[in-house]
Structure formats: structure tokens, C-alpha cells
Amino acid sequence: MKSKVANSDLELELRKEPKQARARQTYEKILMATAGLLDDVGLDGFNTNLVAERAGVNISAVYKYFPNKYAILATLAVRLNDKQTEIVLDYVAILTETISWQDMMSGLIDAMIKETRNEKGLIALQSAMLATPGLKEIYRKSNEDVAKVIMKALEKCGISFPVSKRELIGSCIGEIVPAMLDLSVSRGKRYDPKVIDELKRMQIGYISTYLDDNDKV
């Protein structure tokens, strides 16, 4: 998938989309090598030469597809964000009518963590999306996508919000979840359980402020 991000400073689009099987294999090696390097040397320590060396390809093969290391990060970021959105969609699809909205929110967060905990390069990639121009646009788009699904899940659980504030509430929910997930990995941990507990408390508490007194937690 191409990373459609317009930025005056960084070129983040693929130079070429791999078509043939061998080209696709090389392309995937580059992405896997980058993810592994992000775990091993961090965001500041990796470069395209190291990527080529780790992937076992010529440096020209890297530049055939990616104009710079940030374009590789952009592709990985899109993949991670697409996966997180898919996790939320899959979770919502199997919701039952008997589950409370509080349990739904808690379970959704747990599902996102369970399915991404072992992603290579996760910690450095999360940091890159917040700190790198252009990548933050990918980050924001993912937040919006996840928020829309969460709002639908809440509606499925019988929760409705004032029409005039639905977009704002959705945006806030979409920003809180990834921001707290980022915080939970910021010290090198793959999701600090104490931070995750606070994330759940914040989400449930925030949503509760829009419910009738009888429905509040």
C-alpha cells in the first residue's frame, strides 16, 4: 500500500510498487529488516545502509522502492495502523447484545494490545509517528478510523451521544486511546499494565459524563 502523505520536507511515497513475486519478496525483506532494526538500534540508530545489510540486498534495491528511511517508516506505520483498525473491526463484529459498554471498551483495548504486543519495531515506530513530519498525518488518520468504529460499537451497546457533539466526542476518544497506548510503551515496555488501567478508567469516565445519572458507572 502506498503512503499517501503530502509533505514539503519528506518524500514518503513509494517510488515503485513491487509487481513480480521476486520483487515483492525483496520489498518484504526490506520492511522486515527495518522492523527488526527498530527493535535493535532504535529510531535514531537505523539507516538505509543498515536496512540493506540486514535484509541481505543491495542498497540500490532499497532505493528502488523507498526514497529514504522515512518512506520505509511510513509504509510500516500504515500497516500497523491498518492492523489496529482491523482488530477493532473484528472485535466489534463479534460483540453480543448482552455485553455492557464498559466491558466492551475494556475488551477492545485488551484486543488491540494482545494483537500488537509482539509487533517488531512497535515502540520505535510509535515514537516516529508522533515525532516525524508526515508520519503524524498517518497517525491522525488512523485515530479517526478507530474512533469511528468505537462510536459504532458504543451505539451497538445502546450508548448514544448528542448529535451536535458526536464528531467531537469521537475525535477525543480516537485521540485518547493511541496517546495512552503510546505512553504505555514510552519507557521501552510493550504496554505498561498500569498505564493501560488508567486508559480504561479515562475512557469509561469520559463516556460516562454524557450519560444519564442512572447509566453512569
d(CA 102, CA 114): 18
Average pLDDT in the chain: 84
Structurally, the chain folds into a number of domains equal to 1
pLDDT at 7 over 70: no
Average the pLDDT over 62-79 and give the result.
90
Tracing cell 527495518 back to the chain, one arrives at 34
Do the domain assignments include residue 194?
yes
The model's pLDDT over 125-138, given as tens digits with 9 standing for 90+, comes to 877 777 777 788 88
Percent of the chain at pLDDT exceeding 90: 33
Do the domain assignments include residue 122?
yes
CB 88 within 8 A of CB 149: yes
CATH of the domain at 197: 1.10.357.10
Do the domain assignments include residue 46?
no
Structural domain harbouring 107: 76-215
Highest mean pLDDT among 1-10, 30-39, 126-135: 30-39
Tracing cell 485515530 back to the chain, one arrives at 143
Taking the CB of residue 34, how many other CB atoms lie within 10 A of it? 26
